[in-house]
Amino acid sequence: MSMNLQEWREETLAIIDELLADGSNPDAEYEIEHHFACQDFARLEKAAVDLFKAGYEVTDAEEMELDDGATILCFDAITQHPLKADAIMADVEAMLPIIAKHGVEYDGWGTYFQE
């Protein structure tokens, strides 16, 4: 999923609005999972190492099957933030050049509802 920063900002605001509209706690600390994907394990691994060196917690790579039956490799970089667009977007802006260097795709972010 290739989008520019303005599109990611709009997507981020929409996700936050949806969570808050559903009653998620606006004052909670959220675990934000940024999703990355690539078909080449070596490139994916290099991106994960660089994100780790930049201070992000990264998960192990996993293989996922897409709707069309193709497989893709993916991992997450995890941060902790209040549910604030500026904080989340600061991470997105820092991560995008790192993964672009390795030809890895940013596939957005997600989090979990907080009481």
pTM of the complete model beyond 0.95: no
| Res. 4: pLDDT tops 90 | no
Question: Tens of pLDDT along 32-47?
Answer: 999 999 999 999 999 9
Band (5; pLDDT cuts 50, 70, 90): confident
Tell me the CA distances in angstroms from 88 to 11, 34, 68, 95, one per residue in order: 11, 9, 31, 11
Fold classified for 5-110: Alpha-Beta Plaits (3.30.70)
Structural contact between residues 51 and 99, judged by C-beta atoms closer than 8 angstroms: yes
Band (2; pLDDT cuts 50, 70, 90): low
Place of tokens 């672009």: 100
Q: How far apart are CA 7 and CA 39, in angstroms?
A: 24
Q: For the chain, which residues make up each domain, given as ranges?
A: 5-110
